[in-house]
Amino acid sequence: MKCKICAWELKQGDYCEDFYDCVENHEEQNGIKRGSWMIQWGKRMNGKTTKKTDSKFVQWSKNV
């Protein structure tokens, strides 16, 4: 089934309650620990990451 928010194909049983769920479901499907994007985002806010270290996922989240 496809998520109505993020339009990603979700595994059966997965369900997005909000945008954050979408992100975490996407992480999980890519073998990333859920919540990693939040850590990356927090680091970016602290100026600890550069564009070079941003994951594709973080880039995606900026474009939403």
Q: Would you count residue 3 as binding Zn ion (CB under 5 A)?
A: yes
* Type and span of the H or E element at 5: none
Length of the chain: 64
Contact 54, 64 (CB under 8 A): no
Q: How far is the CB of 29 from Zn ion (least distance, A)?
A: 10
The residue within the footprint of Zn ion, chosen from 1, 6, 47, 58 (CB under 5 A), is 6
Q: How far is the CB of 42 from Zn ion (least distance, A)?
A: 21
Q: Would you count residue 23 as binding Zn ion (CB under 5 A)?
A: no
Contact 22, 16 (CB under 8 A): yes
Interface ranges with Zn ion (CB under 5 A): 3, 5-6, 16, 22
